[in-house]
């Protein structure tokens, strides 16, 4: 009798991704004034943070939508205009919510709706979106519960089916609590089928490809620390670069069915090894990632490949007018620039907007039809002021044109002007941040941290020279950060030699540092030169809304 073969070992993903027992999840639900993320507003956010079946905390707040709540929405949710009166604006609430989320994955029932609203409002208010993993319990329920078991996959139906402790009632926190019970019931159903990690759960309806299974051993030795990872081919050439607060968890997701990006899946067959660079903080890792991408130009990366090719809208010196520029230059000669712009297609519309606002429609038409034209000193000083200091003249002009189009029923034209004006505000705000950072020889700041490689509360220190990353350190709590700051001041002096006006060529790095410096609890420790926080608040989108509202009051008067 032939010898019996040992049973084939079942593929396990226990060592890939984040074990469900250790995964921190934030289950979120929103109430809104409608269904369009770009037009409607959030009225309530409710969220529950869980780990291993235990509730760690809850978040709930009304949000002032700054508009009337439609009657049918008020009837459905029970949220009235009076209930949200005096509530914080979404620009205030969203950073608080993201702080509550931290490094957790987000969970929502019909996540496309809730996450779509959150990301749209983050973009509108220029709040960095951390792109956490997202789990959609609706998609998961369609896999777990067939139609012969439940009549549909609405949250109310599923909550009743699993015996949720809190029935959903179209209020954010109640619906989030109900979603938690539905999620836990589905985890209990999928566990015996081998779904043991967060990534398994997110891709329960898919399977990892043969290439992913064959290459998963590459992630075996990746450490669980902040840093940068590089996928290398057989010749040691860099194929793809990424960063994470936890290298082990992030890299292992590339070998699960949760990874669906085509450029990554096309890269994996050529990958023969993974090189990691451990970093002290996530900020250092983000900067190193950008620098490596800029130096090696990996074929599978898109972001950060050519920071030196930024595009600016520049007001030249003397009588020169507005034009596109590939290089940001020193502004001491009376010139000025805003940007970087998102697209070269923004240049001519922005030139027309500014010229129209300051010099009139005829001048704007002449400029667009004949190219650059000389600008007299009076008009030039007003355009320069709009670029550098005060957008009021442009906002007043744009709001007036928007009101005229709205009155005439030309809503698409009004929206076109609004979007163009927001593009101008964003470019001016970006330039103000970069200008301030580029001017400071050395800035060392500290921010409190509650977790990280120090394993306890403490301080994260960051050194910046002319908008370039110079160094970082972690200091335990109750330790004077000044000594560590003085040590940082002795390092990274070579960064000053690479400084450029408005951080030309490294603006992406500078914007990472600027976002860190704007974080909660930031304190300046050491400064060389004069550090002036830029008055970018003048270029916030809310000011366009205020100007537009005043046009309605003026029309009524």
State which of 145, 179, 202 marks the end of a domain.
202
- Which tokens go with 250? 């992030």
Residues 128, 146: Cα–Cα separation, whole Å: 38
Question: Are 106 and 28 contained in the same domain?
Answer: yes
**pLDDT 10s digits, 471-485:** 999 998 878 888 899
Residue 464 lies in a domain: yes
- The answer to whether the bond into 350 is cis (omega within 30° of 0) is no
Question: Are 365 and 507 contained in the same domain?
Answer: no
Question: Are 394 and 362 contained in the same domain?
Answer: yes
Residue 51 lies in a domain: yes
Cβ–Cβ under 8 Å, residues 352 and 372: no
Question: Are 411 and 334 contained in the same domain?
Answer: yes
Q: What is the pLDDT of residue 371?
A: 46
Question: Are 76 and 137 contained in the same domain?
Answer: yes
**pLDDT 10s digits, 16-49:** 457 888 889 999 999 999 999 988 999 999 999 9
For the domain that residue 67 is a member of, what is the CATH number? 3.30.420.10
Residue 9 has pLDDT above 50, yes or no: no
Question: Are 86 and 198 contained in the same domain?
Answer: yes
Mean pLDDT of the chain: 87
Residues 388, 331: Cα–Cα separation, whole Å: 11
For the domain that residue 291 is a member of, what is the CATH number? 3.40.1440.10
Mapped to the 3 state alphabet, what secondary structure does 395-436 carry? Answer: HHHHHHHHHHHHHCCCHHHHHHHHHHHHHHHHHHHHHHHHHH
Question: Are 55 and 144 contained in the same domain?
Answer: yes
Domain count, the chain: 4
Q: How many CB atoms lie within 10 A of CB 395?
A: 24
Residue 392 has pLDDT above 90, yes or no: yes
Question: If pLDDT is split at 50, 70 and 90, which confidence band does 122 have?
Answer: very high
Residue 120 lies in a domain: yes
Residue 557 lies in a domain: no
Residue 365 has pLDDT above 50, yes or no: no
Question: Are 89 and 107 contained in the same domain?
Answer: yes
Q: Of all residues in the chain, what percent carry a pLDDT higher than 90?
A: 61
Residues 463, 516: Cα–Cα separation, whole Å: 11
Q: Partners of 57 in the beta sheet?
A: 49
Residue 7 has pLDDT above 50, yes or no: no
Q: What is the pLDDT of residue 19?
A: 80
Q: Mean pLDDT lowest for which of 108-112, 312-316, 454-458?
A: 454-458
State which of 260, 283, 305 marks the end of a domain.
305
SS3 content of the chain, % helix, strand, coil (to 5): 45, 20, 35
Q: Which residues contact 64 (CB under 8 A, 6 or more apart)?
A: 84, 85, 86, 87, 88, 89, 90
Residue 4 lies in a domain: no
Residue 548 lies in a domain: no
Residues 275, 265: Cα–Cα separation, whole Å: 18
Residue 170 falls in the annotated catalytic set: yes
Q: Of all residues in the chain, what percent carry a pLDDT higher than 70?
A: 90
Which of 546, 534, 533 lies closest to 389 in space, CA to CA? 534
Catalytic, out of 89, 125, 126, 170? 170
Cβ burial, residue 354 (10 Å; 0-12/13-18/19+) = buried
Q: What is the pLDDT of residue 105?
A: 92
Question: Are 139 and 277 contained in the same domain?
Answer: no
- Residue 390: domain span: 311-429
Q: Which residues of 244-261 are buried (b: 16+ CB within 10 A; e: fewer)?
A: bbbbbbbbbbbbbbbbee
Question: Are 111 and 156 contained in the same domain?
Answer: yes
State which of 178, 202, 226 marks the end of a domain.
202
Residue 97 lies in a domain: yes
């Amino acid at each position: 009798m032939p010898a019996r073969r040992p049973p084939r070992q079942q593929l396990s993903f226990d060592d890939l991704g984040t074990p469900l027992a250790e995964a921190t999840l934030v289950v979120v639900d929103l109430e809104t004034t409608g269904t369009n993320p770009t037009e409607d507003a959030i009225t309530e956010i409710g969220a529950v943070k869980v780990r291993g079946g235990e509730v760690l905390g809850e978040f709930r707040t009304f949000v002032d939508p700054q508009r009337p709540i439609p009657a049918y929405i008020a009837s459905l949710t029970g949220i009235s205009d009076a209930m949200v009166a005096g509530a914080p604006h979404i620009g205030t609430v969203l950073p608080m919510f993201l702080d509550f989320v931290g490094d957790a994955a987000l969970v929502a029932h019909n996540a496309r709706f809730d996450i779509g609203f959150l990301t749209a409002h983050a973009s509108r208010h220029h709040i960095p979106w951390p792109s956490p993993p997202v789990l959609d319990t609706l998609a998961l329920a369609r896999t777990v519960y067939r139609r012969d078991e439940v009549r549909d996959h609405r949250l109310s139906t599923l909550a009743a089916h699993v015996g949720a402790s809190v029935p959903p009632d179209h209020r954010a926190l109640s619906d989030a609590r109900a979603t938690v019970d539905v999620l836990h019931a589905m985890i209990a159903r999928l566990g015996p089928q081998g779904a043991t990690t967060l990534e398994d759960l997110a891709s329960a309806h898919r399977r990892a490809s043969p290439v992913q299974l064959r290459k998963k051993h590459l992630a075996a030795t990746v450490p669980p620390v902040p840093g940068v990872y590089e996928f290398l081919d057989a010749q040691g050439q860099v194929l793809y670069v990424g960063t994470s607060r936890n290298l082990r968890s992030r890299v292992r997701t590339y070998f699960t069915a949760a990874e669906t990006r085509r450029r990554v899946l096309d890269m994996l067959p050529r990958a023969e090894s993974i090189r990691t660079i451990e970093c002290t903080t996530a900020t250092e890792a983000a900067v190193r990632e950008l620098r490596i991408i800029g130096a090696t130009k990996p074929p599978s990366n898109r972001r950060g490949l050519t920071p030196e090719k930024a595009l600016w809208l520049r007001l030249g010196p003397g009588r020169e007018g507005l034009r596109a520029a590939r290089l940001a230059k020193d502004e001491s000669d009376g010139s000025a620039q805003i940007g970087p712009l998102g697209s070269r297609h923004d240049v001519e519309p922005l030139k027309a907007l500014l010229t129209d606002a300051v010099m009139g429609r005829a001048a704007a038409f002449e400029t667009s039809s004949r190219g650059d034209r000389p600008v007299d000193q009076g008009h030039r000083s007003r355009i320069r002021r709009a670029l550098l200091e005060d957008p009021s003249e442009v906002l007043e002009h744009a709001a007036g044109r928007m009101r005229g189009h709205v009155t005439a029923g030309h809503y698409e034209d009004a929206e076109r002007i609004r979007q163009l004006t927001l593009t101008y505000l964003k470019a001016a705000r970006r330039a103000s941040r970069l200008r301030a950072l580029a001017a400071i020889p050395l800035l060392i700041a500290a921010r409190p941290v509650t977790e990280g490689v120090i394993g306890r509360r403490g301080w994260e220190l960051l050194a910046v020279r002319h908008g370039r990353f110079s160094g970082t350190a972690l200091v335990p709590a109750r330790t004077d950060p000044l000594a560590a700051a003085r040590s940082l001041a002795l390092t990274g002096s070579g960064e000053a030699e690479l400084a450029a006006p408005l951080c030309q060529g490294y603006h992406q790095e500078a914007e990472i540092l600027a976002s860190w410096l704007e974080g909660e609890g930031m304190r300046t420790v050491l400064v060389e030169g004069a550090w002036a926080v830029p008055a970018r608040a003048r270029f916030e989108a809310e000011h366009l809304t205020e100007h537009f509202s005043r046009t309605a009051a003026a029309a009524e008067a």
